[in-house]
Amino acid sequence: MSRSSQHVRYRREFLRFLAASPLLAHGLGEAWAQESPAATLPKDVLSVLDFETLARPKLPPAHWGYMASGVDDNLTLQANVAAYKNVQLRPRRLVDVSKIDAGVDLFGQRFASPIFLCPVGGHRMFHADGEVATARAAKAKNTLQMLSSQTSIRVEDVIAARGGGLWYQLYIPPSWDDTEKLVRRVEAAGCPVLVWTIDVLGGRNLETATRFRQTDTRQCVTCHATPTGGRRDTVMFSGLSSARINPANATWDWVYRLKKMTSMKIVIKGIETGEDARLAREHGADGILVSNHGGRAAETLRPTVETVPEVVDAVNNQIPVLVDGGVRRGSDAFKAIAYGARAVGIGRPYTWGLAAFGQDGVERVLDILNAELTLTMRQCGTPTLAQITNTHVRRV
């Protein structure tokens, strides 16, 4: 097969993947899909993947394409999801599982669950209440929320809705003066942790998102753009010399400089090798988030769950290692924890909930995933997260 026809095939496969009903994806067949009534209330939604179907008609093509796609042929995105299906569980029996505690401590904060909300830019693209709706859901469920640098609502307003469980995701500006202003602002707002995303410093090719945008004739004036076409998602850049981010000349000593600049804990997001995990720790990182940006940065990367063990080894388990990418079931979160992750992030799944039902949708997504996780913990004989080990999983 020629390279170009292979590309066409990948693109077709991905568009089919986007169009597919979750019921069909579960192998239940078209007839069943037709008989199944569409859920009109969040409480009636049965699985996180059902939210994908409910979200799609709510969004214009450009917003849907931006959220759903990855880069190039979307292979990293698909690999993240598929990797969890290639891990099987090894349950242990006759353990007292009458009480399950899925709580987790991160930098002195206690959260109800290891499942957290990843930074996702421009929530007002998905729902008018934007990041505040997400924050209210996170607060209601005592869930960690990471706020994107590309937030459509100011950090001060989002933290008022969420409280101290809000960590700030930093896209670093090119100038240190601007970086310092931004970091001081986030610190003053009350964020305890700064998460520096380092996986898009080299640029990226959002091909599928661009294809969707080309089919969209709307002007996005109601959500994230000004009537002249400029983006509004730069609320965190007011007072800075520019809204430019992600300078390609960043190096490891920038972690050290950031660390010296603030008393916030520093987590590095976008680590994909043990070598870089070691460097991050040597330069003062307090935590690592293993991530490939949900397949939105580079193509044909390893699925993140497969990278976790080498990263945990490289830092001798001395600092927390978090992971995101491809988690669609509570059992996926269980598997990530079994491979050594302290906490497990979701991006698209809660965005589907937000698009479908606002705050209530995000809450329902968290409820479904947390219920599936605690069920898996019970079934595997692991009443606490600390009892989940790599003996409970096997890669096929």
Ligand X SMILES: Cc1cc2nc3c(=O)[nH]c(=O)nc-3n(C[C@H](O)[C@H](O)[C@H](O)COP(=O)(O)O)c2cc1C
Question: Collapsing DSSP states into helix, strand and coil, what is residue 115?
Answer: strand
Can you name the residues that pair with 393 across neighbouring β-strands? 89
Question: Which range touches ligand X (CB under 6 A), out of 16-24, 30-38, 252-260, 319-327?
Answer: 319-327
Beta-carbon count within 10 A of 52 CB = 24
Of 123, 224, 293, 392, the catalytic one is 293
The least CB distance from residue 37 to ligand X, in Å, is 27
CA atoms within 13 A on the CB side of 21: 12
Q: Which of 74, 150, 307, 376 binds ligand X (CB under 6 A)?
A: 150
Q: At 261, which amino acid appears?
A: M
Residue number, 352 or 383, with CB nearest to ligand X = 352
- Establish if 382 lies at the interface with ligand X (CB under 6 A): no
- Establish if 179 lies at the interface with ligand X (CB under 6 A): no
In the window 253-282, what residues touch ligand X (CB under 6 A)? Answer: 269
- Establish if 121 lies at the interface with ligand X (CB under 6 A): yes
DSSP 320-384: -EEEESS--SHHHHHHHHHTT-SEEEESHHHHHHHHHHTHHHHHHHHHHHHHHHHHHHHHTT-SB
User: What's the token pair of residue 98?
Assistant: 């009458």
- Establish if 327 lies at the interface with ligand X (CB under 6 A): yes
Site size toward ligand X, by CB under 6 A: 25
In the window 345-364, what residues touch ligand X (CB under 6 A)? Answer: 345-348
In the window 48-77, what residues touch ligand X (CB under 6 A)? Answer: 66-67
- Establish if 148 lies at the interface with ligand X (CB under 6 A): yes
Q: Is 7 a catalytic residue?
A: no
Between 99 and 118, how does the x/- string for binding to ligand X read (CB under 6 A)? -------------------x
Distance CA 271, CA 52 (A): 28
Among 312, 332, 334, residue whose Cα is nearest residue 321: 312
- Establish if 197 lies at the interface with ligand X (CB under 6 A): yes
Distance CA 379, CA 73 (A): 37
> Within the chain, what is the greatest distance between any pair of CA atoms?
65
- Establish if 296 lies at the interface with ligand X (CB under 6 A): yes
- Chain residues that interact with ligand X, rule: CB under 6 A: 66-67, 80, 118-121, 148-150, 169, 197, 269, 291, 293-294, 296, 324-327, 345-348
Residues known to be catalytic: 293
